[in-house]
Structure 1
Amino acid sequence: MMSCKGCFSHYCILLGTPVGAQCPVMIQPNVPVVKFEDPLLVNCTSSTDQTKIMGWEAPYGGTRKEDVTSVLLNITSAYTWDLGPLCYITFLDGTQCEEEVPITVYQMPQSVSLSQSNQDNPMVEGKKYQMRCDIVNVAPSRNLSVYWHKGDKIIHIDTFSNVSSLQPLNQSSAFELTAGREDNGSRIWCEAALNFGPSGPDLPPMESKSHDMIAVEVPADLKISLNCTATGNPLPVYRWSLPPAMQKMMANQPVLTLSVPFVGTYNCTASNSQGTRTKSFIVTDAPSSRPGTTAGILMAVFLAVVLILGCVVYYKQRKPTVTSC
């Protein structure tokens, strides 16, 4: 008397004598990957002429057929994250074998964002910065790779192959960046990609917004001009917030010329009745890293992440409006 091993979709697999761990079947696609809630077809083909019955044991889409050499698993919607159907064969002599087919159910990230733990903007040459890339609601994490880009180079790669959960999770990748002089004008961003190998689907990666590094070195014996000019109607009024050593200086003009630059933050605000825009300049000591460079060299760094002033406030159709940038 045979007993029932498992019942799925009204079909049962009858226990016989197993013939060994290796089952003579071929699975197509050989690496099944499906997006969550999408349909999937998987074909199981027998490579032996001793096949009597073939079938699929699965939570849904199970089937059983006699006198066939292949059976098709039809998943109308992959609504669970853990799919491991079994393709089985009953041979003419009554023995059975089965092959588990792992199916990867994936979900693209909901968002990818780049942040800086120490809010010391802008970046200064020679200083270390803790960067973090956050990936929200991605599955499965074990197939996730995070690529860190600076300019046209990949500078770091993180993987999460040790994460066993198949359900969507939030993941993060940390990277310590040392800002260098060559980084002037470089873009920094992170990119999240799901990789399923050469036999799996080639999914497009998702990028974060980039951070810009803008640095200008100025010798201390030269003047520094900080240009905060904006055009508008009504004409903008300028207000500067200066380092403590500069507080006695008149600073109500759009261009601030410093014959003796002091280290610190120079914030300029241009405003009229229609709005306000702010631009920040940071003057800081630059470390000497080049022969012949004196310790008195300063770095004037323009904070590009702040709202930049090249904006125009004007009348349009006789109504004052603001164009932001």
Structure 2
Amino acid sequence: SGLADDCPLTMTPSEIVVRFGDPASVNCSTSATDAVGMGWEAPVGGTGFKSPPVVTWNVEQLKDFTVPSCYISLNVLDEHGNTKQCQKSPNVTLYKTPDTVSVSAVHPGPMVEGTDYQLKCDISSVAPAGSLTVKWYRGNETVFADRIVSSIKTPQDVSSKLNITTKREYNGSIFRCKAELQLGPNGPEFPPSETSAPYTAVVHYKPFIKACPSNIARVEHKFSMDKLPCPAEGNPPPTVQWFYEDKQISSSKPLRRSDSGKYTAVVQNSLGSSNFSVQITVECECILWLIVYFIPI
């Protein structure tokens, strides 16, 4: 046997990228004048011993990840007195897109604002994993790209993790991961990829009151505290309790002029509570009666 570098064989093409199950073909040729015979050794597409100068490895549906090799026997004796043989192999990349791509939380249950969490992207039966880049998205924004490290050429299961420091703004956000095979210049024009189903984040956070004025004037009998334009936000949804002069009141009770003063709301959920105060001025619902006296002339 001889080294591939000294072997008078030429592969055409020397490198191929093939999708799992697609056809594949490589010509092996020689210019050696002392060639006795040549052939392909492969689990699928092997040729047996053929006459030079060209022999073709041809497979209709390539599903075996064993790289084929072309060999040649020369009418030359080696140092042991045997017919000299050598072989070469083309660079064959057989790729397979994942069977499934899915996102899940490493620790199930809702996220809590300010806490570090991990999402996991599970990718099943992909090859070659060493050509795989996992791209993470929040909405349409790319937030992380993870290159998988692997020397295994056959299909395998791999995963990627995304670290998140949760914010209340992430509640309801859609996370996705995309497994993308980057196969180089001989690969497809558009990198083969599979994208997970969307994962909707549930973030729990302490309640708060959105922008609320510190002073409000309203007309008596037509206003109650539940009509105040100050929505309470939180997850889980908070309860709201109103207090006037340190006593809890019904937020749906219409206010009178005598009810003017400082009102305090306490908003609360399982993560905590907050409060804010507003000065309410209740104005008179006055009707001006105009009496006209007619004095006869």
Q: Give how far 1:198 is off.
A: 2.4
Alignment partner, residue 85 of structure 1: 68
1:169 equivalent to 2:156? Answer yes
Alignment partner, residue 262 of structure 1: 267
Alignment partner, residue 290 of structure 1: none
1:149 equivalent to 2:154? Answer no
Letter in 2 for 1:41: S
Alignment partner, residue 197 of structure 2: 209
Q: Distance in 1 between matches of 2:238 and 2:42?
A: 70
Letter in 1 for 2:195: E
1:116 equivalent to 2:94? Answer no
Of 22, 39, 47, which aligns to 1:38?
22
Letter in 2 for 1:146: V
Answer yes or no: is the 8 Å Cα contact 2:11–2:26 preserved in 1. yes
Letter in 2 for 1:115: S
Q: Distance in 2 between matches of 1:48 and 1:72?
A: 17
Q: What do the CA deviations read for 1:269-295 (whole angstroms, capped 9, x no partner)? A: xxxxxxxxxxxxxx877xxxxxxxxx9
| Structure 1 residues 52 and 37: alpha-carbon distance in aligned structure 2, compared to 1, 3 A threshold | same
Deviates more, 1:88-97 or 1:70-79: 88-97
Find the residue that maps to 1:142 and give its secondary structure: helix
Find the residue that maps to 2:267 and give its secondary structure: coil
| Structure 1 residues 226 and 296: alpha-carbon distance in aligned structure 2, compared to 1, 3 A threshold | closer
1:188 equivalent to 2:175? Answer yes
Matches within 5 A, 1:65-80: 65-68=50-53, 70-80=54-64
Q: Distance in 2 between matches of 1:165 and 1:72?
A: 23
Q: Give how far 1:53 is off.
A: 2.5
Query: Please, which runs of 5 or more residues in structure 1 have no aligned partner?
Result: 1-17, 228-240, 252-258, 266-282, 286-294, 298-325
Q: Give how far 1:75 is off.
A: 1.3
Q: Distance in 1 between matches of 2:46 and 2:124?
A: 34
Query: Please, which runs of 5 or more residues in structure 2 have no aligned partner?
Result: 77-82, 213-228, 242-247, 252-263, 277-297
Deviates more, 1:40-49 or 1:211-220: 211-220
Q: Give how far 1:243 is off.
A: 5.3
| Structure 1 residues 75 and 132: alpha-carbon distance in aligned structure 2, compared to 1, 3 A threshold | same
Letter in 1 for 2:133: S
1:136 equivalent to 2:124? Answer yes
Find the residue that maps to 2:130 and give its secondary structure: helix
| Structure 1 residues 210 and 54: alpha-carbon distance in aligned structure 2, compared to 1, 3 A threshold | same
Q: Give how far 1:73 is off.
A: 0.3
CA RMSD of aligned residues (A): 4.2
Letter in 2 for 1:113: S
Q: What do the CA deviations read for 1:142-163 (whole angstroms, capped 9, x no partner)? A: 333212234433423140315x
Q: Distance in 2 between matches of 1:103 and 1:249?
A: 78
Identity of aligned residues (%): 30
Q: What do the CA deviations read for 1:192-230 (whole angstroms, capped 9, x no partner)? A: 122322223354211123346699996567354379xxx
Alignment partner, residue 160 of structure 1: 149
Q: What do the CA deviations read for 1:1-21 (whole angstroms, capped 9, x no partner)? A: xxxxxxxxxxxxxxxxx3434
Letter in 1 for 2:60: T
Q: What do the CA deviations read for 1:150-190 (whole angstroms, capped 9, x no partner)? A: 4433423140315x361x33322122112357868865321
Q: How many pairs align?
A: 231
Letter in 1 for 2:40: W
